[in-house]
Structure 1
Amino acid sequence: MKTVKLGNSNLNVSQIGLGTMAFGRWISEADSDAILDHAVNSGINLIDTADYYGPGQDEKPAYGDGTSETIIGNWLKRNPSIRSKIVLATKVGSNTNPVMSNPSLSRDHILQQVDSSLERLQTNYIDLYQAHLFDNNTPLAETLTTLSGLVDEGKIRSYGVSNYTEYQLTQALAIIKDRRLNPLTSLQNRYNILSKHDDQDVLKLAQRSHVGFLAYSPLARGVLTGKYLNGAMPSNSRAAHGEPLIKEYFNDDDQQAVEKLKAISDQTGTPMSQLAFAGVLSVPGITTALLGASKTSYIDDAIQAAELKLPQKVMAQLKSL
């Protein structure tokens, strides 16, 4: 698989990355291992997780217990030669307290959590450490200075942010420049052919600023595969597992867009999922599309999408959805 440079860093990442939000949540450790093996053997080198990912996400209040990181760490321990061949990314800043919601990007919380993540991942460095959400209760300069300091300390190779708006990214870049911090490597935001209009401005800012863009939810949490058309509810799907974030796509406008995508799929003979991935990867400024695979076959599908050369007419149809 083709690899591309991530922002202004020395990290080369595959155009398809593996998202692991469901590891230990509704994907068992054994199945997670099989997915990791298949991803790496297929040329995917970016593995993305978070200290928040695990079964606690489905509790009230939602919290992270690091199960996904633990699974990946156990896998790395069994496969020590793989560590130097992958780009290991994780995140900090979402709630990790099962008793009360206390998300934070304070210096103290970051320093505590990075050590916990390193321990769970069973590694002595993280390639990309990301602020999971914007923290309105912590000065942004405190967060960025702490992350930059971790680069100097060697615990992380680079840092990024996630779920930032254009205004928030503008603020971050200004602080980094003013304080002469280590540069920001990446922005990880949701981006798919249903939500694309929401992220155009921040994507363009990232591109102008040489910040890599990691697009999560390129398949709109599975909606763009067509599995939920006509009210269908597959038994092992995210929606059936109670994934709350998928509900926002169950509206008339998005359903009509999915129906149009199916028509393009039927016309071209190309699976809907591959069209959705190709539509994201064709956008200037997007470095990698992150796949949350629950089956190894989904990885094969995404890789084929990365190699697609769609006619301009089809690309124009995808952009018009």
Structure 2
Amino acid sequence: MTYDHLGRTGLEVSKLGLGTMNFGWVTDASTSLDLLDRAVEEGINFVDTADAYGGPQSPDMEQGYGLSEEIIGRWLAQGGGRRDRIVLATKLYQPMGTGPNDRHLSAYKIRKAAEDSLQRLGTDHIDLYQMNHVDRSTPWDEIWQAMEQLVREGKVTYVGSSNFAGWHVATAQQEADKRHFLGLVSEQSLYNLTARTVELELIPALRHYGIGLIPWSPLGGGLLGGALRKADSGRRSSPDFLAAVERHRSQLERYEALCADLGERPADVALAWLLHNPAVATTIVGPRTPEQLHQTLRAPHLNLSAETLRELDEIWPGPGGEAPEAYAW
């Protein structure tokens, strides 16, 4: 496994991070524990979860809420130095109930959400506490004051964001600077060969402020993982997936042919393309089995040539570069 700094911090994280959204829902508890063991054995030290993971993320369907964190807590409780071998990241924002203060980023919610996550995880600190969405109704003074308190108490070490726009990142960081607070160290966003909008303004903002990018859905919901073969074999038969395959069929044919010429799995090429970008600190993979996890380990060591990168840009064109040059002079 290879490692990189998380943004401008001294913290090093594995280039592949274990995403645990499926824990307790798609992947049963026993397999989830095995996945955690295998990840650490393979050198993965970044484990990403959220308070709402473990079931349908809906305020009216509370069953499963917190289950992913609870499973990680069970794994940590086995001891053997497990806690010190991982960088533990979780998130808040999603509704954890139907009450008016069970969601978003008020100081009230931040305090309660952190305490609840710590209890489920069975630990005394969260290494990276991520805001899962921007809260347009709560002032940054309130948000940062609450986060600062958690840092002072030793319950949180670093703060990150997720699903922020470039100007949200800039605003958050400017307000943190006024308070002489470290502010954001990471941003977790949708980014893959099929979804490159973040190249316009978000990535330039992250680079300016020294904030590490953590892509989620790096395989585009499975499209970049050998979708034509999976669709033809019936392994991914949902109507939405099949419709996406048909919508992108010509691109997928070129992409999978390129991967075949390289002698590499499409999933590995997609991950390697992300990891070649210096803005990317780590990328989230969400395997359902230890075997699937093992298959991803080639990607951090796969070097794509300049010619291959150009071909990928032709197949999956981005937004034209960074703003404003992407759409103006």
TM-score normalized by structure 1?
A: 0.90
| Alignment partner, residue 307 of structure 1 | 301
- The letter of the residue matching 2:244 is F
Residues 1:200 and 1:79: Cα distance change in structure 2 (over 3 Å): farther
Which ranges in structure 2 are unaligned for 5 or more consecutive residues? 317-329
Deviation (angstroms), 1:276: 0.4
Which ranges in structure 1 are unaligned for 5 or more consecutive residues? none
Deviation (angstroms), 1:56: 3.4
| Alignment partner, residue 114 of structure 1 | 114
- Confirm or deny that 1:298 pairs with 2:292: yes
Q: Is the 8 A contact 2:94 2:104 kept in 1?
A: yes
Aligned residues: 314
Q: Is the 8 A contact 1:61 1:99 kept in 2?
A: no
Question: Quick one: distance in 2 between partners of 1:214 and 1:120?
Answer: 24
Q: Is the 8 A contact 1:34 1:296 kept in 2?
A: yes
- Confirm or deny that 1:218 pairs with 2:218: yes
Percent identity among equivalent residues? 31
| Alignment partner, residue 264 of structure 2 | 270
| Alignment partner, residue 127 of structure 2 | 127
For the pair shown, the structure with the greater C-alpha radius of gyration is: 2
Q: Is the 8 A contact 1:8 1:183 kept in 2?
A: no
Q: Is the 8 A contact 1:281 1:306 kept in 2?
A: yes
**Residues 244-272 of structure 1: CA deviation (Å, up to 9, x unaligned):** xx769826554433222111112111100
Residues 1:199 and 1:102: Cα distance change in structure 2 (over 3 Å): farther
Stretch moving more, 93-102 or 123-132:
93-102
Deviation (angstroms), 1:222: 1.8
| Alignment partner, residue 49 of structure 1 | 49
Question: What are the equivalent positions in structure 2 for 1:12-161 lying under 5 Å apart?
Answer: 12-57=12-57, 61=60, 65-97=65-97, 102-161=102-161
Question: Quick one: distance in 2 between partners of 1:60 and 1:185?
Answer: 29
Stretch moving more, 80-89 or 38-47:
80-89
- The letter of the residue matching 1:215 is P
Question: Quick one: distance in 1 between partners of 2:190 and 2:298?
Answer: 21
Residues 1:253 and 1:114: Cα distance change in structure 2 (over 3 Å): same
Q: CA RMSD in A?
A: 2.4
For the residue of structure 2 that corresponds to 1:224, the secondary structure is coil
- The letter of the residue matching 2:297 is I
Deviation (angstroms), 1:117: 0.4
Question: Quick one: distance in 2 between partners of 1:200 and 1:288?
Answer: 20
**Residues 125-177 of structure 1: CA deviation (Å, up to 9, x unaligned):** 11000001111222233122211321122101111111000111111111111
Question: Quick one: distance in 1 between partners of 2:298 and 2:178?
Answer: 43
Residues 1:146 and 1:248: Cα distance change in structure 2 (over 3 Å): farther
Question: Quick one: distance in 2 between partners of 1:173 and 1:121?
Answer: 28
| Alignment partner, residue 279 of structure 1 | 273
Question: Quick one: distance in 1 between partners of 2:142 and 2:241?
Answer: 35
Question: Quick one: distance in 1 between partners of 2:10 and 2:249?
Answer: 40
Q: Is the 8 A contact 2:228 2:245 kept in 1?
A: no
Question: Quick one: distance in 2 between partners of 1:116 and 1:65?
Answer: 11
Question: Quick one: distance in 2 between partners of 1:273 and 1:87?
Answer: 25
- The letter of the residue matching 2:19 is G
Deviation (angstroms), 1:99: 7.4
Question: Quick one: distance in 2 between partners of 1:232 and 1:62?
Answer: 34
Residues 1:111 and 1:255: Cα distance change in structure 2 (over 3 Å): farther
- The letter of the residue matching 1:32 is S
Question: Quick one: distance in 2 between partners of 1:249 and 1:92?
Answer: 32
Deviation (angstroms), 1:226: 2.1
Residues 1:247 and 1:266: Cα distance change in structure 2 (over 3 Å): closer
- The letter of the residue matching 1:291 is V
Question: What are the equivalent positions in structure 2 for 1:190-229 lying under 5 Å apart?
Answer: 190-227=190-227
For the residue of structure 1 that corresponds to 2:302, the secondary structure is coil
- The letter of the residue matching 1:259 is E
For the residue of structure 1 that corresponds to 2:189, the secondary structure is strand
Q: Is the 8 A contact 1:229 1:255 kept in 2?
A: no
- The letter of the residue matching 2:95 is N
- The letter of the residue matching 1:272 is P
Question: Quick one: distance in 1 between partners of 2:18 and 2:304?
Answer: 23
**Residues 1-53 of structure 1: CA deviation (Å, up to 9, x unaligned):** 11111122232100000010110111100110111111110010000000010
TM-score normalized by structure 2?
A: 0.88
Residues 1:250 and 1:60: Cα distance change in structure 2 (over 3 Å): farther
Residues 1:259 and 1:110: Cα distance change in structure 2 (over 3 Å): same
Question: Quick one: distance in 2 between partners of 1:65 and 1:139?
Answer: 27
| Alignment partner, residue 257 of structure 1 | 251
